[in-house]
Structure 1
Amino acid sequence: MENPIMPKPYKILDIKKVTNIEWLFKVEFDRVDELNYGQFIQISIPKVGEAPISVTEFNVEEGWIEFLIRKVGLVTNVLFELKPGDEMFLRGPYGNGFPFDENYRGKHLIVVAGGSGCGPVRSMINAVHKKFASTENMELILGFKNEECILFEEEISQWRRDHHVITTVDEICQDGNCSLGLSKGLVTEHFNKLNLSDIPNTEIVIVGPPKMMEFGAKEFVKMGVPEEKIWLSFERKMSCAVGKCGHCRVDETYVCLEGPVFNYTEGKYLID
């Protein structure tokens, strides 16, 4: 019988620096065909520890997955010392991802992501961008602290060619003028620029810091969007992935097992 918490070694194929503290790691993986958008993997380093990381992109045919990893602690500090050809230990995939086929296909999809929250939605955005028939339309609001923190700039420019994309920063740029194509302010300040003319055919995904998700969801409800049309990802609450450690528990809900993606009708009770 397979041990559900036993990791396996996988070779790192490529490492790309995105910002000073966020890098993309491309790793070979033999269970790519089991992945859904928004799921996560447990990454471990022997004698150091493990960390749950959302899958930010994957390729079934070529057999690899990609992680956006932020250097914030013991495990990630060691990960940043690795190089292509080295191995990291993985187990997963875990969690319930975005219900794309059941709820988003053929709909007007709105994705609001803040900071590293762009990671869990990147694979889904790329899939929609490359297969226009999968949704009726897609709009994006991507929020970052400042211009230096912007993730996936090249891909954002590609998304902008075919979709309505708003990239906004919280802080004014160093020279007082943001780059061409950038807006200023919190993501909620730009909701009035979205097309909400056909709410019954609209689905909204919000991923980011807890307060951004909380106030973002409440603002959409104020604008007439039913709660069941809003989806949140609590990927920051991930822990052991199998419901044993209890760190992901919010009241009686184990986010590792029942999430990380929740409909707002449930997710509104999980925001802390």
Structure 2
Amino acid sequence: MAELNPYIPFLSEITEVIKHTEIEYTFRMTYTGDVKPGQFFEVSLPKFGEAPISVSGIGDGTVDLTIRKVGKVTDEIFENYVGDTLFLRGPYGNGFDIENYKGKEILLVAGGTGLSPVKGIVDYFSAHPNDCKSFTLLVGFKSPKDMLFKKDFEEWEKNIKVVLTVDYPDDDYSGNCGLVTHYIPELLVKDLKEAVGIVVGPPVMMKCVISDLLAKGFFEENLWISQERKMCCGIGKCGHCKIDDTYICLDGPVFNYTKGKFLKD
């Protein structure tokens, strides 16, 4: 029996479109199968190409793909609405394993769109707060206009601790200001042996946050990061995401820090 061509995508219907900002929407797509937070799909449209998009939500028969309008493919995706279809391949990558964090003190730090690939983790523990000892979400956005998942924050705050901050406040904003690293010293951890950290965002932000968490006493083996770097084919063939002997799309994009700290461009 001939093997199936791994580059052939399948059709997925758009069931809902959620606008967050002028250039960031969540497309809720039909999908049945196993998927983890942090994994990604290749989303494509004929004649326009394809783009890797992280899973930002997992539903019953659906997955959420939060997409930023930044190029040829994503510009065309934004022309599609509920009832239309997109082509998907995946899910790819190893994702975040929820089992690694159950029963722990969890600190999740995200910067900007870095919240998308870890949103599934927040959704899970917000809905199952007894599955962990504590959960703190520390998120930073550039400005109030750049905030994602505003309605979800309202639900999360009911069951977990949320620290939300922006770099550049406007006149109508009255919340926290400054970089996420400013708030790390204030975060209390009862038992560092049972504390885990998840950090996703721009490379410089992740570097600084990891440094602060290590200084705070976190163990390297209890830290996880996501390295979403130049992923194109999703199956380790094109080589665009390769760092030394590691393919980010296959071996990642989620890494324990004991491995991820060696992945340097």
TM-score by length of 2: 0.96
CA distance in 2, matches of 1:214, 1:132: 29
CA contact (8 A) 2:241 2:249 kept: yes
Q: 1:239 deviation in Å?
A: 2.1
Task: For 1:105 and 1:237, locate their aligned partners in 2 and report how far apart those are by CA, in whole Å.
Answer: 31
Instruction: Evaluate the alpha carbon distance shift between residue 25 and residue 236 of structure 1 in structure 2; reply closer, same or farther with a 3 A threshold.
Output: farther
Is 2:223 the counterpart of 1:230? Answer: yes
User: CA contact under 8 A between 1:214 and 1:268: conserved in structure 2?
Assistant: no
SS in structure 2 of the partner of residue 4 of structure 1 = coil
Question: Which amino acid in the other structure matches residue 98 of structure 1?
Answer: F
CA–CA distance in structure 2, aligned partners of residues 14 and 252 of structure 1:
39
The alignment partner of 1:215 has SS state of helix
Cα distance in 2, alignment partners of residues 28 and 199 from structure 1? 40
The structure 2 residue matched to 1:134, chosen from 123, 131, 134, is 131
Aligned-residue offset at 1:14: 1.2
Please tell me the residue identity of whatever aligns with 1:112: V
In 2, Cα distance between equivalents of 1:248 and 1:93: 17
Q: CA deviation at 1:236?
A: 4.2
Q: CA RMSD in A?
A: 1.3
Q: Name 1:161's counterpart in structure 2.
A: 158
Instruction: Describe the SS at the equivalent of 1:105.
Output: coil
Q: Deviations over 1:234-269 (max 9, x none)?
A: 124422110111111112211000001001111112
The answer for unaligned runs of 5 or more in structure 1 is: none
- 1:201-240 paired onto structure 2 within 5 Å: 201-240=194-233
Listed as ranges, the gaps of 5+ residues in structure 2 are none
AA paired with 1:36?
K
Q: Deviations over 1:3-55 (max 9, x none)?
A: 22210111111111110000010111132xx1112111110111110000001
1:254 matched to 2:232? The reply is no
- The residue correspondences of 1:48-127 to structure 2 (distance < 5 A) are 48-59=48-59, 62-101=60-99, 103-127=100-124
Whether the 8 Å CA contact 1:242–1:257 is kept in 2: the answer is: yes
The aligned amino acid for 2:173 is: C
* Structure 1 residues 237 and 200: alpha-carbon distance in aligned structure 2, compared to 1, 3 A threshold: farther
Q: Offset at 1:92?
A: 0.5
Aligned residue number for residue 37 of structure 1: 37
- Give the TM-score normalised by structure 1: 0.93
Separation in 2, partners of 1:154, 1:14: 15
Residues 29 and 62 of structure 2 are in contact (CA less than 8 Å); yes or no, is this contact kept in structure 1?
yes
Counterpart for residue 46 of structure 1:
46
Instruction: Name the amino acid aligned to 2:57.
Output: E
Matched position secondary structure for 1:89:
strand
> Residues of 2 paired with 1:44 and 1:25: CA distance?
13
In the TM superposition, residue 157 of structure 1 has moved relative to its aligned partner by 2.1
**8 Å contact from structure 1 (residues 43, 53) kept in 2:** yes
Q: Is residue 238–residue 260 contact of structure 1 (8 Å, CA) maintained in 2?
A: no
**What secondary structure does 2:157 align onto?**
helix
Aligned to 1:27: 29
Corresponding letter in the other structure for 1:110: L
Would you say the 8 A contact 2:129–2:160 is kept in 1? no
* AA matched with 2:24: E
Counterpart of 1:17 (choices 6, 10, 19) is: 19
Identity %: 43
Partner of 1:2: 4
